[in-house]
Structure 1
Amino acid sequence: MEALQNVFNNREIAFGIWIIIAIIIGLFTKAGRKFLITVLPIIFSRKFVLFYIIFLSFFSLTVLYLFYSKFWDLYLLKDTIFWVIFFEIPLFVKSIDTAKDGRFFAKLIKDNLALIVIIEFILNNWTFDLVVELAIIPITLLLGGLLAFASREEKTVSVKKIINGLLVVFGIVVILFTASNLIQRPEELLNIDTLKEFTLPIILLFMNLPVVYGLALYNTYEQVFIRVKGEPKEQQKMKRLLFQFAGINLTRVSSIRNSLIRTITISRTAEDLKRHLGEFEQYLNTRIGDNYMKRSRFYILSCILMIIICLAGIVACNSKVGLRDLLTFNFVLDIPKMKEIVTNVLSTGLAGSICLIIYFIGFRRRKYEEISQIKKFALHDLLVLVRYQSKTLQEFPPIEDPKRLFIQYITIANDINRECNKAVVSYDNLFTYWELEALKRLQTYTVSLISTIGIDNIDSYNAEDFAKFFNEKKKSAIQNEKINIFIDDTERGIKKYSEQIEHCMEQFKDCI
């Protein structure tokens, strides 16, 4: 056990023990074996195996590079394996569903450089005794399950408050325990090995982004290619045309996927597709929302590139090292033999680039404020409704009170749907790709909610009429001992609608 504790901390050991117990239970129960029989063929399908090979090859080269650059060592093996299992694999799954443009990767990097990452790292640096950690894991899982269950119904709000209180108390205990260890034994945290353990996940994330991007790109292309129709030879030509049009630009591929009617659906030959892609290119070029910030982004990226070139040039000119040492960061500055002329030129370029990037960041901000003001004016009525609906959203919608439901949700959803239709038709080119997608999803969820209720013309109803209609439909709906199908569908519709309202609040926060 001591040898094990030299490699893993008590929390990791406890977690491993419970995983082993869960696997054993799964193998010796009928439900567990059935689950494995269903899942294993999917996990080890041909496409996934090919991806595993590509990922492991790229990842191995990454670790090998870090090893030769004298950053990675065997004591980081545990952290590396944990990163792959608990971060990289979930990231791949998430990228398949979520990665549609560069914003996904920008948010990913931002989240992994946030202050909370540092806090979590410090909190996980010290753990309780193994017996305590073994008890904490099932208790935490039990409280989490109870919290999820208690959050489903209004009558269990008191239980939810109690569980939240227990979790807060537990969090305070962990923070106090960590603070005590940090004060008494700061050397365990403030050393080069701990610094490497902290920076390793961030470095691995940056170095493996090409694989994640490649997976998202491949998945999007696959969704596009599967819609290509026509003769086999024409299909091959059409696929080549699509790749020539979009290349490795994930945003452009996603734009095609979201505009199948404009491009692929109406094309049966390569000539048809070529013509429609030309028209689609013109459409993309007229989109103010996607193109308005291009110039400022180009300026900023150019300045960043110049800063990197100048820094690399200064290092190269002031250090007596070879290319391999430069690539592995294994060099020492040789100041007495500085190449003064080149150094002065590059230093001037570096200073100029830093000044320019500061200026262009301000320029970008001004451009962003300009387009935000235009959107704020164009979408005034819609944004007012979205903001009002966001304020009236409730954790437990008043399903049992149709009058309140009508006033607080249904009428507003109907108005939002009307304004969404107007915005998408009239101001399509004003939005960025992701803003337009957010509005279309809001449009979809409002229509879905209204369709679930089953009223064609909500404007002709008042609260009394709606309550009468709602109660009659509730009585006539299919029902078993626990679930009324109409009520259940309504609750799910309101949940999706509410989530999309909050998403739109986030997307348009600078305009609201």
Structure 2
Amino acid sequence: MGVIQEFFNNREIAIGIWVIIGLAVILPTKPARQFIKTAIPILFCKKFVIFYIVFLSFLGLVLFALNWAGLWDLTLLKDTVFWVLFVELPLFAKAIEKADGGRFFSKLIRENVAIVVAIEFFVGFWTFSLITEIILIPLTVLISVLQVLAGQDKKHRSVKRFFDGLLVLWGIILLINAIYSLIHAPNQFLSFDTLKSLLLPLVLLVFNLPVVYGLALYNTYEQIFIRIKGSKSEQKKMKWQVIRFSGINLSKVSAIRKSLPNTIVCCRTSNDLQINLKKLARRLDLQIGENYMKRSRYYVLACIAGLILSFIGLIGANSDVSLKDLVTLNFVFDIPRIKEILTNIFSTMIVFSATLFFFAIGFAKKQREDVSQIKKYALYELLLSVKMQHSQLVDYPPIDEPADLFCAYVHNVYEVRAACDKVLAAYENLLTTWEQETLKNLQHSAMVLSEDFGISAENFREYSATQFCNFYDEKVRTAPQNEKINVFTHKIKTDIEKYSKHIEQFCEDFKHYY
């Protein structure tokens, strides 16, 4: 046990013990054996094996480079393996499902540099005794599961609050334990090795983004190529046309995928596809929301590149260093005449790049403010209706109380749907790609929910709360029903939950317009 504890902390050992116990119980069962028989051929098919080789090779090069620079060693092997299993592999699945442009990757990096990541690392740095951890791990999992189950029914609201309180209390205990341990053993936490462990996930994520990007790009291309029809020679030409049009630009490839009926599905020859791609290119050029900030982003990136190159040149001009010493900042200054000239050049470049950098940031901010003002004006009705709906969302939709349902949801959903239709019809080109996607998801969920009620948008305004209650009660009474579920109310509840999630997502994505 002592050898194991040299590599794993008590919490990791406790989790491992419970995982082994769980696998020992589950694996002998027939469903588990059938699942394994089905999953193994999929996980080790030719495409996946090639991807594994590419990913592991790239990861090996990254680790070699970090080790060469003194930023990684075998003491971080455990953290690296955990990162691959519990961060990178789920990230691949997430990238396949959601990655369609730069925003996905910038959001990914922001999530990994958030303060909550540092807090989680700090709290999890210290653990309790092994016996305590073995007891607490299943108890925490059980409370979390019960809390989720209790949150699914309005009748169990008080139970949910109780479990919420227990989880908050557990978090406070962990935080107090971490602070106590830090006070009594500060050197254990405040060290360079700890800093490397904290930064390792972010460093690995940044260096492995090319693999994630490549996977998302390949997956998107594959989704497009399987929809290409026609003769073999035409299919080959059409595939090359798509590649020439998009290249390695994930946003462009995603734009083709999102408009498959208008670009790919209707084509049988390369000439047809060429015409459709030209139309798509013109439409993308008209996307003000997507293109307006490109110049300012280019300025910022160019200035950052200039600053980095200037600093590297300045250091290189004043020191006899190898590349490794340069990366690890291990160098000494030496000033002959030629290096003095280069120093002046690179120093000037630093000042120039820094000045342009601040100008570029200001320019980007000004552009963002300009387009935001235009969007606020164009989206005013939508923002107002969504804000009104968001303020009336409740944890448990009142499907058994039609009067409350009418006030909280029904009246608002028709307003939101009408506002979505108006914005997408008149101002779609003002929105970025991800804003369009968020808005279309909200429009769809609002449309589905309003159609569930069975009242057309034209006739809805004729209904008062009392009339709606009578109409709703009649729908409930005549709907198919078994002992537990009324089909009508069940569908209303399900679609309200989806609609509420899209309202929340809209408020999150458009919060800078409020």
Q: TM-score range by the shorter chain?
A: over 0.9
Query: In structure 1, what is the equivalent of residue 285 of structure 2?
Result: 285
Q: Show the counterpart of 1:174.
A: 174
Q: Tell me the distance in 2 between the aligned counterparts of 1:355 and 1:433.
A: 32
* 2:498 is aligned with 1:496: yes
Q: Is the CA contact 1:477–1:486 (under 8 Å) kept in the aligned structure 2?
A: yes
1:371 matched to which residue of 2? 371
Ranges in structure 1 where 5+ consecutive residues have no aligned partner: none
Tell me which amino acid in the other structure corresponds to 1:228: I
Per-residue deviation, 1:500: 0.9
2:325–2:331 CA contact under 8 A, matched in 1: no
Say what the alpha-carbon RMSD is for the aligned residues: 1.7
Shift, 1:489, TM fit: 1.6
One-letter amino acid of the counterpart of residue 226, structure 2: I
User: 1:333: which partner in 2?
Assistant: 332
Question: Once the 2 structures are TM-superposed, how far is the Cα of residue 323 of structure 1 from its aligned partner?
Answer: 4.4
Residue in structure 1 matched with residue 449 of structure 2 by the alignment: 449
2:301 equivalent to 1:301: yes
Which deviates more, 5-14 or 307-316? 307-316
Equivalent position of 1:470 in the other structure: 472
Partner of 2:347: 347
* Other structure's SS at 1:261 match: helix
Shift of 1:371: 0.8
The residue aligned with 2:24 is 24
List aligned pairs for 1:22-61, cutoff 5 A.
22-61=22-61
* Superposition deviation, residue 296 in structure 1: 0.9
Q: 2:99 aligns to what?
A: 99
Counterpart residue identity of residue 500, structure 2: S
CA contact (8 A) 1:315 1:333 kept: no
Q: What one-letter code is carried by the residue in structure 1 that aligns with 2:213?
A: Y
Residue 494 of structure 2 aligns to which amino acid in structure 1? R
More divergent stretch after superposition (485-494 vs 246-255)? 485-494
- Normalising by the residue count of structure 1, what TM-score does the alignment of the two structures yield? 0.96
- Preserved CA contact (<8 Å) 2:10 2:127: yes
* Aligned partner letter, 2:96: I
CA distance in 2, matches of 1:172, 1:324: 44
Cα distance in 1 between the residues matched to 2:46 and 2:137? 36
Is residue 263–residue 277 contact of structure 2 (8 Å, CA) maintained in 1?
Answer: yes
1:413 aligns with 2:413: yes
Shift of 1:336: 4.7
Structure 2: how far apart are the matches of 1:407 and 1:232?
Answer: 58
- Find the residue that maps to 1:455 and give its secondary structure: coil
Q: Is 2:320–2:334's contact at 8 Å kept on the other side of the alignment? A: no
Give the Cα–Cα distance (whole angstroms) in 2 for the partners of residues 66 and 484 of structure 1.
Answer: 60
Alpha-carbon offset, residue 319 of structure 1: 2.2
Q: Deviations over 1:308-365 (max 9, x none)?
A: 1111111221221344654x54741334558111112111211221222122212111
User: Any idea what SS the aligned residue of 2:440 has?
Assistant: helix
Aligned CA distance change for structure 1 residues 335 and 180 (closer, same or farther; 3 Å): farther
Whole-angstrom distance in 1 between the partners of 2:471 and 2:35: 43
Q: Aligned partners of 1:387, 1:160: CA distance in 2, in Å?
A: 27
Deviation track 1:93-132 (CA, whole Å, cap 9, x = no partner) reads 1111121111111111111111111111111111000011
Q: Distance in 2 between matches of 1:133 and 1:308?
A: 46
What is residue 132 of structure 1 aligned with on the other side?
Answer: 132
The one of 505, 508, 511 aligned to 2:507: 505
Deviation track 1:438-484 (CA, whole Å, cap 9, x = no partner) reads 11111111111122223334334332332223223223333333322
- Paired AA for residue 374 in structure 2: I
SS at 2:266's partner residue? coil
- Report deviation, 1:404: 1.7
Q: Does structure 2 retain, via aligned residues, the 8 Å contact 1:25–1:32?
A: no
- CA–CA separation in structure 1 for the residues paired with 2:52 and 2:488: 44
Q: Which moved more, 1:144-153 or 1:331-340?
A: 331-340
Deviation at 1:203, TM superposition (A): 1.2
Which consecutive residues of structure 2, in runs of 5 or more, have no partner in the other structure?
none
Distance 1:294 1:243 in 2: 22
Give the Cα–Cα distance (whole angstroms) in 2 for the partners of residues 70 and 337 of structure 1: 30
Q: Structure 1: how far apart are the matches of 2:31 and 2:144?
A: 23
Using the alignment, how far apart are the partners of 2:207 and 2:136 within structure 1?
35
Indicate if the aligned counterparts of 1:318 and 1:334 stay in contact, CA closer than 8 A.
yes
User: Taking structure 2 as the reference length, what is the TM-score of the superposition?
Assistant: 0.96
The equivalent of 2:437 in structure 1 is 437
Contact 1:67 1:73 in 2 (8 A): yes
Count of residues in Structure 1 that have an aligned counterpart in Structure 2: 511
Which residue pairs with 1:245 in the alignment?
245
Displacement, 1:401?
0.8
Alignment deviations for residues 15-72 of structure 1 (CA, whole Å, 9 cap, x no partner) = 1111111111111223322332333333223322221111111111111222222322
**C-alpha separation between the residues in 2 aligned to 1:314 and 1:183?**
42
Would you say 1:79 and 2:47 are equivalent positions?
no
Residue 142 (structure 2) aligns with: 142
Native 8 Å contact 1:446 1:497 kept in 2: yes
